[in-house]
Structure 1
Amino acid sequence: MTRYVALLGSINVGGNRLTMADLRWAFEREGLEGLETVIASGNLLFDYDDRPLEGLEDLFAHVMRDRFDIDSFVAVRDRAAIAEAVESNPFSGEGAGDRVHTMFLERQPDPAAFEKLAADHAGRGPETLAIGNRALYIDFVDGVAGSRLTSAFIERRLGCRGTARNVRSIARILAKMS
């Protein structure tokens, strides 16, 4: 069995309140094993055998809609991908741990789409951006709350969905996956 994390977007933000016990219960009913939540924001660790992962993100999203009426983007990553998100983030160690984020994307965006995002954001705020492997790295210099660099703004320009976690949360997830 391999250890994975499902990073569920839109959990415990914007009115989509959900207990982590209810989240675990819903996925236990789907037959997933070794379920454990990390931080109360939709990070679900689980064990999964070596079957193909294709469709697993869609299954998670379906369960969220069906059981909780929450439309959620879900990114499933293994330990190596989470470690890469930590190691490859060029802003880690530079900015505050709650302001430096990795947005896990559904697919690798086209380089031209990233250039459009960077160009359209220029002058809108102090945030800095870098592209990674199915990831967008962001330093929200002045914090996320007042930023004009929103998920919707990013997703429209990249042409793909994502869910973000700050580097502190990612480090906690990685530690639990070890």
Structure 2
Amino acid sequence: MTRFVALLRGVNVGGITVKSADLADVVRGLGYDDVATVLASGNVLFTTSEPAATAKTRLEGALGDRFGYEAWVHVLTAAAVAKITAGFPFPRSDDRHAYVVFVVKPEVRAELLATELDPDVEQIAEGEGVLYWSVPKGSTLDSAFGRAQAVARHKPWLTTRNLNTLEKLAR
């Protein structure tokens, strides 16, 4: 049995509302064990013997059926999330956000890495399957990298989480 973290893309923003209790019900309904949601931003922990790819496919189908939207889910082991959080390369401070962008399509990752940044404002670095991002608080949506992520064609391929959230998920 493996402990997994599922990160749902685009829920509880833009009109797609998924309550934590309903999310947990869907995941339990798939037969997964030890189900727990973390915060209200589409994060769920569960245990199964299925491979991550199978869990991803089943979760996307069940979420789409239950909530009526095209679900995009990133499924990683809890151990992988712990490794990703430990690899955050930038100093942390109270005036900056520490983010991890999960990107499953290499072409999208390459395009995002090519974003022209003001290094005095934000920094990005590549990790294993992720991009690490540091940006001043209040500048997330206005920054060059924030705008680059918001491109509609990227939606199925990425999701962003605050490092603090990921640390909760990796425990």
Interval of TM-score (by shorter of Structure 1 and Structure 2): 0.7 to 0.9
State the superposition RMSD in angstroms. Answer: 2.8
In structure 1, the partner of 2:55 is: 56
**Equivalent AA in structure 2 for residue 128 of structure 1:** Q
**Cα gap change, 1:61/1:125 in structure 2, threshold over 3 Å: closer, same or farther?**
farther
- For normalisation by structure 2, the TM-score amounts to 0.83
Within 5 Å, which residues of 2 pair with 1:12-161?
Answer: 12-49=12-49, 51-91=50-90, 93-96=91-94, 99-107=97-105, 109=106, 114=110, 116-123=111-118, 126-143=121-138, 144-148=140-144, 149-150=146-147, 151-153=149-151, 156=154, 161=157
- For normalisation by structure 1, the TM-score amounts to 0.80
**Equivalent AA in structure 2 for residue 46 of structure 1:** F
Whole-Å separation in 2 of the counterparts to 1:106 and 1:81: 14
Whole-Å separation in 1 of the counterparts to 2:95 and 2:30: 34
Task: Tell me how many residue pairs correspond in the alignment.
Answer: 168
Give the CA deviation at 1:120: 3.2
In structure 1, stretches of 5+ residues that fail to align are none
Whole-Å separation in 2 of the counterparts to 1:87 and 1:7: 18
> Once the two structures are aligned, what percentage of the paired residues are identical?
29
Give CA deviations for 1:41-87 in whole Å, capped at 9, x if unaligned.
111100112x4333321221122211101223211111221111111
**Equivalent AA in structure 2 for residue 68 of structure 1:** F
In structure 2, stretches of 5+ residues that fail to align are none
In structure 1, the partner of 2:170 is: 174
SS at match of 1:54: helix
CA contact (8 A) 1:97 1:166 kept: no
